[in-house]
Structure formats: C-alpha cells, structure tokens
C-alpha cells in the first residue's frame, strides 16, 4: 500500500490570544498547511477540539471552519477525545486517505482557552473526568495528576524534586521554538522554590492551558506533484487504545496501559519492535508525572526510573532518546484539542530538517503520543522520513 505523506503543515503561536477568535486561529493554521502543500485541496476536513461548546459557545466546527477556510462543500466534522482530540483528528484523516475514500484529508486542531477564565475554565476542564464518580466529588484533572504523583513518589521512594527534571527539559528545549508560549529555561533551584498547587505538584509541574491551532494535510505518495518541495515524511503507524476513565477503576493507576499498548501497535505496524529504534519521542507532559509514566509505559525507562534516567540527559536533544524537542506541552503550551497536531507539525519539522536551532542530528523516525486525561485514551503515531 502506498505511503501516507504529510504534504502540508501549519501552526499558530501558542499563547493567550485575547483579541482573536477560535475560527481565526484555525483558519490561519489551515491556510499555512494548504500553502505548504503547494495548494493541494483536501476532500475532507477533520477538526480536533476539546471544549469549544463550553468555552467558546461554538459547536459544528466542521462546517464553520470549512466555510471560513474557503473549503465549503467538502466533508467536514469534529472529533473529541479530551486532550488527545487533535491526535484523533489526525488518525481519522490518516484512515480516510489510507482507505482510498479520499485523496487528501486535512486535520486541524484548535482551542480557545481564554474565552473563559477562572472557575468557568476549571469546570470545563473537569468535565474530562468521570462526571458521576470524580467530578461530583470535586476531583479535577490537576487533582488526578497530584494523586498519581503522590502514589508514584511514595511507591518508588523518590523526593518531590525528582519530577522537576521534566519541566526543566521542556523549558530548555522551548528556547528554540518561536511558536512556544514560554521560551525561557528554568533551573532546579527555581523549580524547588516554586509554589505548590496540588501537593506534591507545583506551578511548574502542569502545562499551561492556552490558545492555538495546528494543521496537517495528508495525501498518498503517488498523488504528490513531481516538484513536491519537501522531504517525504510518512505516517507509517497509527494506533488508539482506551483505558478506564476513572482512576479508581484501574488495577494499577501507575501503569499507563493505553500508552503502552498504543505505542506497541504503532511500532509493530511500521515494522519496529522498541522505542529505542526511534530518533525522538514526543510525549504528553500535561503534568510532569505524565511524562514519567509515559516514558515508563513505552519502555524508555524502568518503572520508577524515568526521573533518574532523565537526570542523566538521556531525553535531552543530544541524548539517547530526545523528548519534547520543541518544548512539549509544558513550555510550548497545551492548546487542548490542537496539541496532538502541534506534536505532528513539530515531528514533521524535525524529519524534514526544518526545525532550525532545535534540529536533531540525523532524525529519520519518531514516535508522537497524545493522551486524553491520565491515559484514558492514548493515540500514537509513528512518522518516518522516506527521502
């Protein structure tokens, strides 16, 4: 079967776009992707979004964005998978092209977090938990992460500061990302002094929920124009796995089972066996504990060993398995339903050799993984440079 190629990419800056609307951000990313692909026109638009009906009073994003992007009349709709909504849109676009039902499909992820602030935003984010058994008891996503972190530090007898290596890594890498929300490195001392938010986590342990949009246009290799200007980057593996939504329904809450299984499936599809065969890994560091549990789930570190391995520099850009190479969610910013597509855009830049000062040496293949909540859903894609 012909390879599915990333023909075009686009992204906005991640941040607080108070003066711009959700549709403005999405259309900017869409038009960039279309231009990057040389004007290739998709027959399908899949929108990844997490909270627009609650935050922006807007649903029916497929029709809205197709219209405003000048794509009126094509097939278009929205998919939602919590924080992994953008990755879900990418997977649906990949399935559509691979099936042969469409020649080209565009996936765009967008979120406008600043349309609501304070308690309204916190309540919207809390709808990602189990409403009957977690939300009703006041449990928020941040509290979920804090519970996991407390259990993790207790079980493996680690100090609270051990998790700080992940935000330090993210901020160091984001310095070279012009689209990142926070482009300043942080020290271990600054991390240690930071105010506690949800014990044992502090303000540096959680990614900022922000505004942004990113887009990826897919097509089959045989449909690319002869003068296609970019190195060919293919999505060679794609897998989605779900787990129990409520943490209390899992036999081992520190086992990110969905992350482990989706990574294994994506690797196998592409003919690989282990994460160490990858040149980089873009994980979902919504919280620093999620970075640790994701690394352990995919086999990049033993259980309880991710902080120590990270402290050796193994996951730095010059390490054995570079991670969060352009800042991850923590420093680039977590644009909700757009995050999975930011990961894809950043991975494509690395594989094309277009990542500027953040460019990895000899990057040929990488794994990107997007989590919905604490790995209640995990969507993994394997990207590889063909030429």
Which percentage of the chain shows pLDDT scores above 70? Answer: 100
- Taking 80 as the threshold, does the pLDDT of residue 87 lie above it? yes
Q: Looking at the structure, do residues 57 and 156 belong to the same domain, yes or no?
A: no
40 within 8 A of 219, measured Cβ to Cβ: yes
Q: Looking at the structure, do residues 199 and 312 belong to the same domain, yes or no?
A: yes
* Structural domain contains residue 95: yes
Distance between CA atoms of residues 135 and 366, nearest Å: 36
Q: Quote the number of domains for the chain.
A: 2
Q: Looking at the structure, do residues 307 and 282 belong to the same domain, yes or no?
A: yes
Q: What is the average per-residue pLDDT within 194-207?
A: 97
Q: Looking at the structure, do residues 279 and 326 belong to the same domain, yes or no?
A: yes
158 within 8 A of 246, measured Cβ to Cβ: no
What confidence score (pLDDT) does residue 358 get?
A: 98
What confidence score (pLDDT) does residue 132 get?
A: 95
197 within 8 A of 287, measured Cβ to Cβ: no
270 within 8 A of 315, measured Cβ to Cβ: no
Handedness of CA 242, 201, 381, 95 (dihedral sign): positive
3-state helix, strand, coil in the chain (%, to 5): 40, 20, 40
Handedness of CA 376, 370, 126, 374 (dihedral sign): positive
Largest interatomic CA distance in the chain = 58
Q: Looking at the structure, do residues 213 and 199 belong to the same domain, yes or no?
A: no
Backbone angles phi, psi at 240, to 5 degrees: -125, 135
* Structural domain contains residue 231: no
* Structural domain contains residue 133: no
pTM to 2 decimals? 0.98
What confidence score (pLDDT) does residue 55 get?
A: 97
Q: Looking at the structure, do residues 186 and 277 belong to the same domain, yes or no?
A: yes
- Taking 90 as the threshold, does the pLDDT of residue 1 lie above it? no
Q: Looking at the structure, do residues 246 and 334 belong to the same domain, yes or no?
A: yes
Of 198, 223, 248, which residue constitutes the final position of a domain?
223
Q: Are strands 201-202 and 196-198 parallel, antiparallel or unpaired?
A: antiparallel
* Structural domain contains residue 45: yes
pLDDT category of residue 225 using cuts at 50, 70 and 90: confident
Q: Are strands 280-282 and 365-372 parallel, antiparallel or unpaired?
A: parallel
Axis crossing angle, helix 288-297 with helix 165-174, rounded to the nearest 10: 100
Backbone angles phi, psi at 33, to 5 degrees: -65, -40
Reported as a single tens digit per residue, the pLDDT across 89-142 is: 999 999 999 999 999 999 999 999 999 989 999 999 999 999 999 999 999 999
* Structural domain contains residue 335: yes
Q: Looking at the structure, do residues 293 and 177 belong to the same domain, yes or no?
A: yes
Instruction: Please provide the size of the chain in residues.
Output: 387
* Structural domain contains residue 229: no
Of 194, 223, 252, which residue constitutes the final position of a domain?
223
Q: Looking at the structure, do residues 150 and 97 belong to the same domain, yes or no?
A: no
Domain CATH number, residue 157: 3.40.47.10
Of 223, 253, 274, which residue constitutes the final position of a domain?
223
* Structural domain contains residue 132: no
* Structural domain contains residue 145: yes
Q: What is the average per-residue pLDDT within 258-271?
A: 98
The residue segments making up the domain with residue 257 are 139-206+236-385
Q: Looking at the structure, do residues 60 and 18 belong to the same domain, yes or no?
A: yes
Q: Looking at the structure, do residues 60 and 153 belong to the same domain, yes or no?
A: no
pLDDT category of residue 334 using cuts at 50, 70 and 90: very high
Q: Looking at the structure, do residues 107 and 66 belong to the same domain, yes or no?
A: yes
């Amino acid at each position: 079967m012909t390879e599915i190629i990333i023909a075009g990419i686009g992204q906005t800056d991640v941040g607080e776009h108070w003066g711009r609307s959700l549709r403005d951000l999405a259309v900017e990313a869409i038009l960039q992707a279309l231009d990057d692909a040389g004007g290739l026109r998709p027959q399908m638009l899949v929108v990844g979004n997490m909270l627009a009906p609650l935050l922006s009073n807007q649903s029916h994003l497929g029709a809205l964005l197709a219209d405003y992007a000048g794509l009126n009349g094509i097939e278009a709709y929205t998919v939602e998978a919590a924080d992994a909504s953008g990755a879900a849109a990418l997977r649906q676009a990949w399935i559509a092209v691979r099936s042969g039902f469409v020649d080209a499909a565009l996936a765009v992820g967008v979120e406008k977090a600043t349309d609501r602030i304070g308690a309204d935003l916190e309540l919207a984010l809390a709808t990602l938990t189990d409403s009957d058994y977690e939300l009703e008891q006041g449990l928020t996503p941040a509290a979920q992460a804090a519970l996991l972190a407390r259990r993790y530090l207790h079980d493996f007898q680690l100090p609270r500061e051990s998790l700080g290596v992940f935000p330090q890594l993210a901020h160091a890498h984001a310095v070279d990302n012009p689209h990142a929300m926070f482009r300043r490195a942080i020290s271990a001392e600054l991390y240690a002094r930071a105010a506690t938010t949800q014990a044992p986590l502090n303000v540096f342990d959680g990614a900022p929920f922000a505004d942004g949009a990113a887009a990826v246009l897919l097509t089959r290799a045989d449909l690319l124009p002869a003068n296609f200007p970019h190195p060919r980057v293919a999505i060679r593996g794609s897998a989605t796995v779900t787990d129990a939504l409520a943490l209390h329904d899992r036999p081992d809450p520190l086992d990110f089972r969905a992350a482990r299984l989706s990574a294994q499936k994506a690797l196998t599809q592409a003919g690989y066996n282990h994460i160490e065969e990858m040149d980089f890994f873009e994980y979902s560091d919504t919280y620093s504990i999620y970075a640790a549990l994701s690394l352990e789930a995919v086999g990049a570190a033993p259980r309880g060993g991710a902080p120590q391995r990270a402290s050796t520099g193994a996951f730095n850009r010059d390490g054995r398995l570079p991670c969060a190479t352009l800042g991850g969610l923590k420093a680039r910013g977590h644009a909700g339903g757009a995050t999975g597509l930011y990961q894809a855009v950043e991975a494509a830049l690395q594989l094309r050799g277009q990542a500027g000062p953040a460019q990895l040496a000899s990057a040929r293949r990488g794994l990107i993984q997007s989590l919905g909540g604490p790995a209640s859903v995990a969507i993994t894609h394997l990207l590889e440079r063909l030429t």
